[in-house]
Chains A and B, each alone.
Chain A
Amino acid sequence: QQQVKQSPQSLIVQKGGISIINCAYENTAFDYFPWYQQFPGKGPALLIAIRPDVSEKKEGRFTISFNKSAKQFSLHIMDSQPGDSATYFCAASFLSGTYKYIFGTGTRLKVLA
Chain B
Amino acid sequence: KAGVTQTPRYLIKTRGQQVTLSCSPISGHRSVSWYQQTPGQGLQFLFEYFSETQRNKGNFPGRFSGRQFSNSRSEMNVSTLELGDSALYLCASSLLTSGGNEQFFGPGTRLTVL
Chain A residues with a Cβ under 8 A of chain B: 31-32, 34, 36, 41-46, 49, 89, 93-95, 97-101, 103-106
Contact = CB atoms under 8 A, between A and B. Distances in A.
B103 A46 contact: yes
Interface of B: 4, 6, 33, 42-43, 45, 48, 50, 55-56, 90, 92, 97-108
B42 A104 contact: yes
Contacts of A97: 55-56
A104 B4 CA distance: 22
Contacts, number: 63
Contacts of B43: 44, 89, 103, 106
A105 to B, nearest CB: 4
A98 B99 contact: yes
Given A42-B107, A43-B4, A101-B33, 6 more contacts: A31-B100, A45-B105, A49-B102, A98-B55, A99-B99, A103-B42
A34 B94 CA distance: 14
A47 to B, nearest CB: 11
B105 A100 contact: no
Contacts of A104: 42
B104 A98 contact: no
B90 A100 contact: no
A43 B105 contact: yes
A41 B10 CA distance: 11
A100 B45 contact: yes
Contacts of B107: 41-43
Contact of A99 (B42, B98, B104, B106): B98
Contacts of B45: 100-101
23 contacts: A31-B99, A31-B100, A34-B103, A36-B105, A43-B92, A43-B105, A43-B106, A43-B108, A44-B43, A89-B43, A95-B99, A95-B100, A97-B55, A97-B56, A98-B48, A98-B56, A99-B100, A101-B45, A101-B98, A103-B42, A104-B42, A105-B42, A106-B43
